[in-house]
Amino acid sequence: MVIRLPGAVRSAACDAVVDRLDAGSGPGTIEIRTGGQPASAGDAASGVLLATFTLADPAFGAAAAGVAAIAVDPEPETVGVAAGTAGWWRAKDSAGVTVMDGSATVTGGGGDLTLNTVAVSIGLALRLTGGTVTMPG
C-alpha cells in the first residue's frame, strides 16, 4: 500500500522542513555547487562551491497543497567565487547545519531551484529566480 497525505498535512510537513532554514540567529544560506548532488543530504557536499546566497528570513512562504516557494522578492543576488556549471544546491541554517539539497537549473529548466544562469564564473552576478519544496501526497 501507498501512504497518502491530505493537503493540510502535506503543507504542515513542508512548513516544518522549510522553517528549519530560519533556525538560529540569522538567515539561512544556499550553496550552489557543480556536478550531481550526493545520495543523501547527510553526506558531505561534493563538487566545487560556485556561489553562496544569503536567504530572506523567513526563507520560504507558507506552504499550500504541500508546496512552499522560496522568497524571491527581491531576488537574492550574489557573485560567483569559482568557475563551473551549477548542478545542485545545499541549503543550511544560520549555524551551518544542512537542511536539504536539490537540483539547480536555469530559469524555466525545471530544477528545484532556478538561477539566471548555470554557467558561473568568478565575479559573475547570479540571481536566485525561484524554487519550491514539495511534500509528496
- Read off the amino acid at residue 17: V
C-alpha cell at position 42: 547527510
C-alpha cell at position 122: 568568478
What one-character-per-residue DSSP string does 58-126 give?
A: S-BPPPBTTEEEB--SSPPEEE-SS-EEEEEEEEE-TT--EEEEEEEEETTS--SEEES-SEE-TT-EE
Q: Which residues of the chain have pLDDT under 70?
A: none
pLDDT of residue 132: 95
pLDDT of residue 136: 87
Please report, for the chain, the start and end positions of each structural domain, with discontinuous segments joined by +.
7-134
Strand pairing category for 84-92 and 29-34 = antiparallel
pLDDT of residue 42: 94
pLDDT of residue 8: 95
Predicted model pTM: 0.93
pLDDT of residue 33: 98
pLDDT of residue 1: 77
